[in-house]
Amino acid sequence: MRRWGVALPGPFDYARGIGLYEGVAKFDALHGVDVGRALLDGLRPPAPGVTFINDADAFLLGEWVAGAAAGHRRVVGITLGTGVGSAFLADGVIVADDQCVPPQGRVDLLTIHGRPLEETVSRRAILARYSQVMGLHAATHVDVQDIADRARGGEIVARQVLEEAMVALGETLVPWLECFGARVVVVGGSMAGSWDVLARPLRTGMNQAAGVEVVCAAIPNDAALVGAAWHAAEQSVRS
């Protein structure tokens, strides 16, 4: 049996397979846990190894192997959900240490208008902005999907809140896309389910990035699985 591939969000020690989820409000039970050893001890039949990869990296690899980024040499992946995930890929290799990508390849570490990007583009930021404009009680029990539905229904505030976030994201990405030489940006994550509402303002924010195509993920539910499997297969060949 070939080795297993597992996609997980950070913070995680991908080389050693150990969780580093202290004080980040997710996967707390995995902090300090040797996840690789736990999996290997429990797999039946036994596997020769487990390879870990960041979930945004796996998403983009999957879309490059069998989705919207197939056939392109330099692509960027963005996942929109609780936060903003990102990955940069050149000729099938994830690029995280290069002057033409953000630190660690993470756009969530960038700022816009002097504020961290995720204070404008994230689930919590969008909900906070909507609550601010509509009034706290009016936004109670509302999620991003509900705001997208209201935007489709013609609600001006809902449309403006989503447009503000997507234009900001597009503007933030432009210099990195141009430096990296990206030809395609593939967008996934839970918010991509509202692509019909998000696509136009994102492209508006990116209007300075000539020649860059912005598309929704073609295999959103399977991209990370495909990418993790591809990564594991590559690691098996190299070892």
In a domain, 63, yes or no: no
| Stretch 187-199: mean pLDDT | 96
24-46 tens-digit pLDDT: 778 889 999 999 999 999 988 88
Residues 4 and 21 placed together within one structural domain of the fold: yes
Residue 46, pLDDT score: 84
Residues 99 and 15 placed together within one structural domain of the fold: no
Residues 116 and 193 placed together within one structural domain of the fold: yes
In a domain, 107, yes or no: yes
In a domain, 20, yes or no: yes
In a domain, 61, yes or no: no
Identify the residue whose tokens are 């404008």: 120
Residues 121 and 155 placed together within one structural domain of the fold: yes
More confident residue, 66 or 234: 66
Within its chain, how far is the Cα of 233 from the centroid? 22
In a domain, 135, yes or no: yes
In a domain, 103, yes or no: yes
In a domain, 60, yes or no: no
Query: Rounded to whole angstroms, how far apart are CA atoms 215 and 224?
Result: 17
In a domain, 175, yes or no: yes
Residues 169 and 203 placed together within one structural domain of the fold: yes
Residue 76, pLDDT score: 98
Of all residues in the chain, the percent with pLDDT exceeding 90 is 82
Average of per-residue pLDDT values in the chain? 93
Domain range spanning residue 49?
Answer: 1-54+223-239
Residue 1: is its pLDDT beyond 60? Answer: no
Residues 168 and 234 placed together within one structural domain of the fold: no
108-165 tens-digit pLDDT: 999 998 999 999 999 999 999 999 998 866 556 789 999 999 999 999 999 999 999 9
Query: Rounded to whole angstroms, how far apart are CA atoms 96 and 27?
Result: 24
198-214 tens-digit pLDDT: 999 999 999 867 789 99
Residues 92 and 185 placed together within one structural domain of the fold: yes
Residues 50 and 100 placed together within one structural domain of the fold: no
Mapped to the 3 state alphabet, what secondary structure does the chain carry? CCCEEEEECCCEECCCCEECCCCCCCCHHHECCEHHHHHHHHCCCCCCCEEEEEHHHHHHHHHHHHCCCCCCCEEEEEEECCCEEEEEEECCEECCCCCCCCHHHCHHHCEECCEEHHHCCCHHHHHHHHHHHHCHHHHCCCCHHHHHHHHHCCCHHHHHHHHHHHHHHHHHHHHHHHHHCCCEEEEECHHHHHHHHHHHHHHHHCCCCCCCEEEECCCCCCHHHHHHHHHHHHHHHHC
Residues 101 and 121 placed together within one structural domain of the fold: yes
Residues 229 and 212 placed together within one structural domain of the fold: no
Residue 47 pLDDT level (bands cut at 50, 70, 90): confident
Residues 50 and 111 placed together within one structural domain of the fold: no
pTM of the model: 0.93
Domain total in the chain: 2
| Stretch 55-81: mean pLDDT | 97
Q: Which CATH number belongs to the domain containing residue 145 in this structure?
A: 3.30.420.40
Residues 101 and 196 placed together within one structural domain of the fold: yes
